[in-house]
Amino acid sequence: MLASFDLARAQVPDWQTKVRKDCDKSDWASALHTLEQQEALAPEDMDVKAWHARVLAWSGRSVEAEREYLEILKVSQKDPDNWAGLASVYAHEGKRKEALEALDTALRLDSKRADLHAARARILRDVGERREARVEFQRALSLDQVSAEARAGLLSLRVEPKHELRLGNENDFFNFADANQDGWASLTSKWTPHWSTSMSGSFYRRGGVDAGKFVGSVTARLPHNLAVTTGGAIGHDNSVIPKSEAFFDLDRGWKISETNFIRAVETDYAQHWYWYQSARILTLSGAAILYMPREWTLSLAATGARSAFAGTGVEWRPSGTARLGFPLGAWADTRLSGNTFFAAGTEDFARVDQIGRFASQTYGGGLRFQFSPRQDVTFMSSYQKRTQGRTDTYLGFSYGIHF
């Protein structure tokens, strides 16, 4: 048996190096093909089986990886790496209790492994046991003082800000009217993991006419990555902005896989009612956001707007937006990101000049600079071409404080 085993290994030289290189390129099919060939030559080699389970897990085939790890553990239960691999699969499947049990077994076999303590800390953090998670990250750091994973884990357990105060200024420059000057302030508060509120005040100046409004909303976060928001607004309109508004929003997210090109998908449905002095507007909106590697995002949105003016009929008008978000760099606690978008027929209905019988195309983008964990600034700009040769150049700025 030993002679045939040695011969089998000689027929596939350095298989593990090849598998590692394929995994570095995320070429899971080639890595699995190499492992399956080696497994056929050496069916009793637990190292080959462990690598096979590992690559199955990395490639997103968690059910098969779980089955493989359980088969390995029926034969040998003394390798902490196999228990850690099973724990990783359980965590990916949302079986956090089973994941902790598997890591406890791994730590009983080798309590001096910093990576095992860090893995256990991550799961404890995910289930809300932040104090125990901090202890485990500290243990990992004491065993490996250069562990970037342990240091990042401890940083992630800092008390997160519950509130965001944001101040903004916006300006619209028209080629057919005086400029709009708007200012606003908002306060968003996350009171519990399940409940948050948002309040904002906006102030408008349009052709020498001043107006303002107050907006409030409540968001409930439900199981299965579901969030429901409802709210409304009341304004001192001066025939410039809506007298009142009401809205609700339904948001749902799906996590796919960290190894896929599309890591997660978020969908959103919203209805918004606007009541002006001489018009009523209802918008129905749907959006999808695709989360891609390295913090790239692509969002697509469509809106149908129902306009009803006093003394006229009802009219429906469609609009749509495509937006691409991307990172531009990160240094220590600072981050720079940007976005670019194109919109057709899009109006936001916040002011009376944004409704009516016109079509438009809008090109724009923005930058967000987070210069500390507690502060950031954003810059936004767009250019809108309307029918009848009219244009609107928009410039916006906001400053956020997180506390």
State the Cα–Cα distance between residues 307 and 352, nearest whole angstrom.
Answer: 12
Burial per residue of 33-70, b for 16 or more beta-carbon CB atoms within 10 angstroms, e otherwise: ebbeebbebbeebeebbbbbbbbbbbbebbebbbebbe
- pLDDT above 70 as % of the chain: 95
Predicted pLDDT at 357 = 61
Burial per residue of 347-382, b for 16 or more beta-carbon CB atoms within 10 angstroms, e otherwise: bebbbbbbbeeeebebebbbebbbeeeeebebebeb
Q: How far is CA 280 from CA 231, 270, 312, in A?
A: 18, 17, 11
- In this predicted model, which residue has the larger pLDDT, 6 or 104? 104
Count Cβ atoms below 10 Å from residue 396 Cβ, excluding itself: 18
Helix axes of 114-126 and 80-92: crossing angle, nearest 10 degrees: 20
How many residues are given for the chain? 403
Q: Provide mean pLDDT across the span 293-321.
A: 89
Q: Summarize pLDDT for 185-204 with one digit per residue, the tens.
A: 999 999 998 999 999 999 99
State the Cα–Cα distance between residues 371 and 330, nearest whole angstrom.
Answer: 10
Q: Are 191 and 198 in contact (CB under 8 A)?
A: no
Q: Among 350, 345, 352, which Cα is nearest to 387's?
A: 345
pLDDT of 169 above 50: yes
Q: Summarize pLDDT for 312-322 with one digit per residue, the tens.
A: 778 888 999 99
Q: What DSSP letter does each residue of 87-100 carry, written as one string?
A: HHHHHHTT-HHHHH
pLDDT of 358 above 90: no
Report residue 348: phi and psi, to 5°. Answer: -100, -10
Q: Summarize pLDDT for 214-251 with one digit per residue, the tens.
A: 999 999 999 999 999 999 999 999 989 999 999 999 99
Q: Provide mean pLDDT across the span 253-270.
A: 92
Q: Are 179 and 171 in contact (CB under 8 A)?
A: yes
User: In the chain, what is the greatest distance between 2 CA atoms, to the nearest angstrom?
Assistant: 95
For the chain, give the mean pLDDT.
90
Q: Provide mean pLDDT across the span 247-274.
A: 94
Coil/strand/helix, residue 396: strand
- In this predicted model, which residue has the larger pLDDT, 375 or 4? 375
pTM of this structure: 0.66
Looking at this protein, which amino acid is placed at residue 159? V
State the Cα–Cα distance between residues 45 and 7, nearest whole angstrom.
Answer: 13
Predicted pLDDT at 356 = 63
Say which residues have a Cβ less than 8 Å from residue 116's Cβ, sequence separation at least 6.
80, 84, 103, 106, 107, 110
- In this predicted model, which residue has the larger pLDDT, 9 or 24? 24
Q: Summarize pLDDT for 36-49 with one digit per residue, the tens.
A: 998 888 888 898 99
Alpha-helix residue ranges (DSSP H) falling in 144-250: 148-156
Beta bridge partners of 234: 214, 244
Predicted pLDDT at 159 = 74
Predicted pLDDT at 177 = 87
What is the token pair recorded at 9? 């290994």
Q: Are 225 and 204 in contact (CB under 8 A)?
A: no
pLDDT of 354 above 80: no
Predicted pLDDT at 1 = 40
What is the token pair recorded at 390? 């009219």
pLDDT of 3 above 80: no
Say which residues have a Cβ less than 8 Å from residue 17's Cβ, sequence separation at least 6.
none
